[in-house]
């Protein structure tokens, strides 16, 4: 375990993440939702910012790029196929690229759907993934620029990671996601138990992030279009996974 991850709140419900490799003294921030808390976190840890790793172009993910780059002279990494929307981009990465980071590396996964250029960073040696707004604890990102088929294929890429992969998603949306998930899979015992645990954590003001791939596969309705119970709830028994996923997403949009 070479990497240290430091997580802190930004804006209303975003998380900022610093990733530090002590062996090489490099520090990345995953997205730049808000400059002040990122600089405060760096000061608290005594780390120098060397990299910005962007998952996508939205303002609550890349809005602090320019200010942080000016302050730190750091290297900005983002999706090659969305480079014109990533402020200050220096390194353009694409699906399957291995981005060298200190003594380790991250594999880039293209996961379009929320935006057309969304990417995730998978640090395989440490078993951790930063998934931006593609996968949330008990949820998934809204389909602003992609089709259900695209998003389902992106989610399947993440589901193919080992079950114990630690997943850092960019927002604290879990409690409202749980309320929706229970409407489509009310008899999922793992989901019911998890929802109670989420309520306890939130009552104590604690985060529900990170999660794991295994936990999401067991409880997240957007990863479960093959669940018979979910198919029955949305009236699509034996439905095609893309169609069931699309209907689940549509219901969440109107929840």
Nearer to Zn ion, 20 or 114 (CB): 114
Question: Measured from the CB atom, is 21 or 31 closer to Fe ion?
Answer: 31
**Residue 133 interacts with Zn ion (CB under 5 A): yes or no:** yes
Is 238 or 253 the residue whose CB approaches Zn ion more closely?
253
Q: Taking CA 111 as the corner, what is the angle to CA 55 and CA 146, rounded to the nearest 5 degrees?
A: 105
Considering only the stretches 43-51, 56-64, 98-106, 196-204, report the one whose residues sit in contact with Fe ion under the rule CB under 5 A: 56-64
Task: Please name every residue paired with 120 in a beta bridge, in sequence order, or none if there are none.
Answer: 109
Task: Number of residues interacting with Zn ion: please give it, by CB under 5 A.
Answer: 2
Annotated catalytic residue, options 51, 57, 114, 118: 114
Question: Is 254 annotated as catalytic?
Answer: no
The verdict on 60 binding Fe ion (CB under 5 A) reads yes
- Interaction between residue 58 and Zn ion (CB under 5 A): yes
| Residue 31 interacts with which of Fe ion, Zn ion, none, CB < 5 to 8 Å by class | none
71 versus 116: smaller Cβ distance to Zn ion: 116
Tell me how far, at minimum, the Cβ of 138 lies from Fe ion, in Å: 16
Tokens of 36: 């002040």
SS3 string of 98-162?
EEEECCEEEEEEECCCCCCCCEEEEECCCCEEEEECCEECCEECCCCCCCHHHHHHHHHHHHCCC
With a CB cutoff of 8 Å and minimum separation 6, the contacts of 167 are 128, 129, 131, 135, 137, 158, 210, 211, 212, 213, 216
Of 60, 82, 97, 126, which is the active-site residue?
60
- Name the residues annotated as catalytic: 56, 58, 60-61, 114, 133, 171
Binding site for Zn ion (CB under 5 A): 58, 133
């Amino acid at each position: 375990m070479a990497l240290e991850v430091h997580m802190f709140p930004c804006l209303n419900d975003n998380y900022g993440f610093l990733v530090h490799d002590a062996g090489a003294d490099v520090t990345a921030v995953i997205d730049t939702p808000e400059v002040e808390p990122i600089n405060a976190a760096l000061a608290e840890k005594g780390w120098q910012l060397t990299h910005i790793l962007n998952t996508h172009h939205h303002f609550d993910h890349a809005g602090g790029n320019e200010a942080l780059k000016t302050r730190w002279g750091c290297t900005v990494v983002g999706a090659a196929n969305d480079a014109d929307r990533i402020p200050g981009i220096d390194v353009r990465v694409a699906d399957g690229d291995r981005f060298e980071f200190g003594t380790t590396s991250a594999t880039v996964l293209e996961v379009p759907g929320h935006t057309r250029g969304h990417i995730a960073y998978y640090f395989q040696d440490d078993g951790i993934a930063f998934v931006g707004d593609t996968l949330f604890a008990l949820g998934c990102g809204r389909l602003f620029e992609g089709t259900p088929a695209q998003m389902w294929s992106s989610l399947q890429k993440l589901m193919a990671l080992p079950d114990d992969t630690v997943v850092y998603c960019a927002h604290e949306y879990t409690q409202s996601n749980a309320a929706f998930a229970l409407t489509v899979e009310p008899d999922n015992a793992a989901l019911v138990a998890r929802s109670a645990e989420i309520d306890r954590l939130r009552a104590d003001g604690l985060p529900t992030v990170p999660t794991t791939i295994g936990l999401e596969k067991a409880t997240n309705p957007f990863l479960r279009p093959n669940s018979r119970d979910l198919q029955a709830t949305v009236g699509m028994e034996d439905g095609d996974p893309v169609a069931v996923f699309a209907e689940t997403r549509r219901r969440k949009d109107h929840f």
